[in-house]
Chain A
């Protein structure tokens, strides 16, 4: 019969090492799939799609420096499902007639901006960020001008991508 741990110190050490190893095996064995599961989102590419915004001719009829909120609907694959993500595009025409396509998300932490016509400003309801009609920060904590949607014009129709220009850290959205 094998010696008990009380009879043989070396046997005791041996058993403790085996117990430790077995625990480690179970731990690592369970950690692999769990960590894999948690980290999965890091290995998924963002699903980038185009969505239709409207006719350029209609947009060009807008008053200059009068932002118009137009919804777009991105059909995006997420996990097991395809979801429709509604987003606002703020279309602004500058005095020279050029069109801009801003996001309505504050560049601070992403709250939805309100256009306050009396003051000619976008105001953020969260921490008091302010932007002018051309998207420049005029007050509050936001660190950068409004995000601009990636966009293109095809056959007179504007398309918007669920991605911001000049946004290396992929903030917002």
Chain B
């Protein structure tokens, strides 16, 4: 019976061959577990889309109502808390895994010729996912949401020359209110998800075009010199994507899924009260992956310097990261053969962790 169905499709569209070609991608053999993070991101994103779409069955993007709708989902919808919790912890996990995936790619030098474009598309994905996280935080409609919109659009206002305009555009008007929420909603639910859905296949297509590089240890037997790009297209040994790599991808995905699921069952934060610009003792908090940048703000006081923390440092850091493959043009892949890059990378990761922990410290006035 199955054979018959298969034959029916094969006669028409060569289905078996297509699937085999898709699944047969050759993956470098030794580092399988390190290569699971990319698929994990794709998996997590799928979970976000699935949960997000069904949150929309109850959500309303209108300021006073949004928080109540979120509250309703959490407390009055059957398993609503789980749905909301998976969406929340899935988002947090995705941001974290993004950094892990980037670190893996960075330390194995996989962004170098001929794979520069993978990195560039990856950075676009990175920016979109971060903005998705931020806009999601704003959509909850609680006090933090309101202040996040307010504070972040004020941050944008410090952009040289265009600042004021950017702030008005970001808010969809001059005040943080109805239209701001409506625009943020459209961005979070339509614009960015669609951009990500288009970019992930682009990312994967590029990877298939050049072949997956993996880590330097995949090329120990190669006789070619490091500056020959052919060397980096032919690993010593490969395995097919399906089932060898896919099997590992699935195991990692399940472990992470279970963690997300348990967090969603046991630790879904309170929705918090509706926004109230009159509150006298409210201390706005940024989402955790913004704490590093927030900490930075404290180091640059006064008129002339604010722009360092709101604009210059983040933008310069971002541009350097974006253009990394075009800045670091050495040919060595092994982290031990390019100590400067490796040490810089470790330093940068430690700095981010440090700033995040500092930014997360309870703030004095709020605790009085």
- Chain A residues close to B by CB (< 8 Å): 38-39, 41-42, 44, 46-47, 69, 71, 76, 78-79, 81, 83, 85-88, 108-112, 114-116, 118, 123-128, 140-144, 169-173
Contacts and interface: CB of A to CB of B under 8 A. Distances in A.
B90 to A, nearest CB: 28
B298 A127 contact: yes
Contacts of B174: 41, 44, 46-47, 170, 173
A168 to B, nearest CB: 10
B368 A116 contact: yes
Interface string B291-330: 0001001101111011000100000000000000000000
B173 interface: yes
A143 B175 contact: no
Given A110-B151, A141-B297, A42 B284 contact: no
Contact of A141 (B301, B363, B366): B301
Interface stretch (B15-23, B128-136, B161-169, B238-246): B161-169
Nearest to A48: B174
Contacts of B339: none
29 contacts: A39-B169, A41-B171, A41-B172, A42-B169, A44-B173, A69-B280, A78-B179, A79-B173, A83-B177, A85-B177, A86-B278, A87-B277, A109-B154, A110-B154, A111-B147, A111-B283, A111-B284, A118-B368, A123-B364, A125-B284, A125-B365, A125-B366, A126-B284, A126-B363, A127-B298, A141-B298, A144-B303, A170-B174, A173-B174
Contact of A143 (B278, B284, B306): B306
B155 interface: yes
B169 A88 contact: no
A81 B178 contact: yes
Contacts of A47: 174
B150 interface: yes
Given A86-B278, A141-B302, A116 B365 contact: yes
A173 B154 CA distance: 10
Given A79-B179, A83-B178, A112-B284, A126 B173 contact: no
A38 B282 CA distance: 32
B281 interface: yes
A44 B282 CA distance: 31
A141 B308 CA distance: 12
Nearest to A112: B282
A41 to B, nearest CB: 5
B154 A41 contact: no
Interface in B341-368: 363-366, 368
A142 to B, nearest CB: 8
A123 B368 CA distance: 10
B151 A41 contact: no
Contacts of A69: 278, 280
B255 interface: no
Contacts of A126: 151, 283-284, 294, 297, 363
Given A42-B165, A114-B366, A143 B151 contact: no
Question: 5 tightest CB-CB pairs across the interface, nearest first?
Answer: A123-B365, A125-B283, A141-B301, A143-B303, A46-B174
B178 A79 contact: yes
Contacts of B151: 109-111, 126
Contact of A112 (B147, B155, B163, B177): B147
Contact of B298 (A44, A85, A140, A144): A140
A86 B277 contact: yes
B279 interface: yes
A140 B147 CA distance: 19
Contacts of A114: 280-281, 283, 365-366, 368
Contacts of B282: 112, 125
A171 B157 contact: yes
B365 A41 contact: no
Contacts of A46: 174-175
A112 B154 CA distance: 13
Nearest to A118: B368
A123 B367 CA distance: 11
Contact of B178 (A78, A87, A88, A110): A78
A144 B303 CA distance: 7
Nearest to B155: A109
B158 to A, nearest CB: 8
B175 A76 contact: yes
A38 B302 CA distance: 33
Nearest to A79: B179
A109 B297 contact: yes
A42 to B, nearest CB: 6
Interface in B243-301: 276-284, 294, 297-298, 300-301
Nearest to A45: B174
Contacts of A85: 175, 177, 277
Interface string B220-246: 000000000000000000000000000
B276 to A, nearest CB: 7
